[in-house]
């Protein structure tokens, strides 16, 4: 392999390796951040394992979503989940005010979504 070929090979391989090693680390950090926000803002209704069985769930009509139900995320793209969080209907509070006030950022909503997807059961 000549030097030119090595340079091209390295130029193509290095970015691929960086994505392979660093994207999972960034994604894990986002999930961890989402978990912290979820515990504070969502778990009291949706439950610690996302089953819709938090301590407040019995009082709510309709009941909170069960994120661990098989196929729950199959027909719910991230954009739809984000809209549900930001423009929620009672009894779920809308997070739009949190965003408008600066208490939460768009990236925080994305992190919550990344975290709740960890509850997913595979579809059958």
CA distance 50 to 120: 9
Q: What is the pLDDT of residue 29?
A: 85
Q: What is the pLDDT of residue 14?
A: 53
Mean pLDDT of the chain: 85
Domain boundaries, the chain: 26-119
The ranges of the chain with pLDDT < 50 are 19, 22-23
* Residue carrying the six token digits 């950090």: 29
Instruction: Write down the CATH superfamily of domain 26-119.
Output: Cytochrome c-like domain (1.10.760.10)
Q: What is the pLDDT of residue 37?
A: 97
């Amino acid at each position: 392999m000549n030097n030119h070929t090595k340079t091209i090979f390295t130029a193509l391989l290095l970015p691929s390796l960086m994505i392979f090693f660093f994207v999972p680390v960034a994604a894990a950090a986002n999930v961890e951040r989402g978990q912290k926000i979820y515990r504070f803002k969502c778990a009291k209704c949706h439950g610690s394992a996302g089953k819709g069985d938090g301590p407040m769930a019995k009082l709510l009509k309709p009941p909170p979503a069960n994120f661990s139900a098989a196929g729950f995320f199959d027909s719910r793209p991230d954009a739809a989940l984000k809209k549900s969080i930001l423009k929620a209907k009672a009894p779920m509070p809308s997070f739009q005010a949190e965003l408008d006030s600066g208490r939460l950022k768009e990236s925080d909503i994305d992190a919550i979504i990344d975290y709740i997807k960890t509850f997913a059961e595979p579809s059958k």
